[in-house]
Amino acid sequence: MAGTALVVGASGIVGSATATLLIEHDWTVHGLARRPTGQPGVHPVAADLQDADATRSALSGVNPDAVFITTWLRQDSESENIRVNGMMVRNLLDGLPKATAPRHVALVTGLKHYLGPFEAYGKGALPQTPFREEQGRLDVENFYYAQEDEVFAAAERDGFTWSVHRPHTVIGKAVGNAMNMGTTLAVYAALCRETGRPFYFPGSTAQWAGLTDMTDARQLARHLLWATETEAAHDQAFNVVNGDVFRWQWMWSRIADWFGLEAAPFTGAEHPLAEQMADDAGLWREIAARHGLAEPDLARLASPWHTDADLGRPIEVVTDMSKSRRLGFTGYEPTDDAFFALFESLRADRLIP
């Protein structure tokens, strides 16, 4: 099934990977972003989803068979996250022209569905791991729930099918992204190599020693397309991860080896990246100038706060994908390969030395 797709957040990690996959499968792809980046093969749609009238105007000539919502805006509190991100989904779905064919809307959220918002991340009473889709919502405010509710309400009103996709931490490439562990770790490793600093694991003992998993953006894109094209996956929520599990005590040395570093011994002490990299903006500009890198602004490459939130969690986090497997999704992506593919791409694009 190839048709017309609207990828919302097309300049982000998930959106750009999704657009690439859709183009490979002969879809006509419109990419919505506040500032479209000019991705090859993508028809740009410039719109601010906080502006309902402007969104409706921008979408007036787009009648997609499938809509992929891969964007959000971080606010200063969860109540503001709920207000702004719920409004963005509402403005998007209200602004679409009335469908002339069956339409599917896929929403990307994440494991904060089970872990809670950043204000209460991994704290309090949490569902048992591995996380499974039948585990209900937490009794806390969460902007993911607000986004879902907007999709559900619009689906009932307009008659489209939907799917919700809950990845773990996503590995992929996008400059200026607010949640970007892979690029953040690559920049941190480059800083350590250039300065001779120890390459510390920044997080908790629970993350160092416990099992975990992650989601490659390409794996997530395949999952989005699968759910769109699979009738049995419609009107369902799914977890989506790479399919392997690992411990950071193994992965950290793999990453260190790729960068030609020796991993510093783990002592149980946390070394948050937000503290380690707090004063590195000027240093990164020097490194960028010395190596002819394409992005001298450290803040557009690294998101230490997000990496610290994930790697500092006090609990083991693993994700069950049985629901997707039973319905026929067989995608698999080894996580170390996902990291290495990202690092190679960053180097090829002169984003890291």
Q: Would you please indicate which residues are annotated as catalytic (active-site) residues?
A: 112, 144
Q: Which of 233, 243, 32 is nearest to 130 (CA)?
A: 243
Alpha carbon distances (Å) from 169 to 15, 39, 56, 261: 15, 24, 32, 24
3-state secondary structure at position 53: helix
* E strand or H helix at 206: helix 205-209
How far apart CA 304 and CA 168 sit, in angstroms, is 17
DSSP conformation class of 327: T
3-state secondary structure at position 273: helix
Q: Which of 107, 15, 94 is nearest to 54 (CA)?
A: 94
Q: Helices H, strands E: what count in the chain?
A: 14, 11
| DSSP string across 170-216 | EE---TT-SS-HHHHHHHHHHHHHHHT--B---S-HHHHHSEE--EE
Name the token pair of 337.
């390969």
How far apart CA 155 and CA 151 sit, in angstroms, is 6
Angle between helices 335-348 and 248-258 (to 10 degrees): 30
Alpha-carbon torsion angle 126, 129, 135, 139, nearest 10: 10
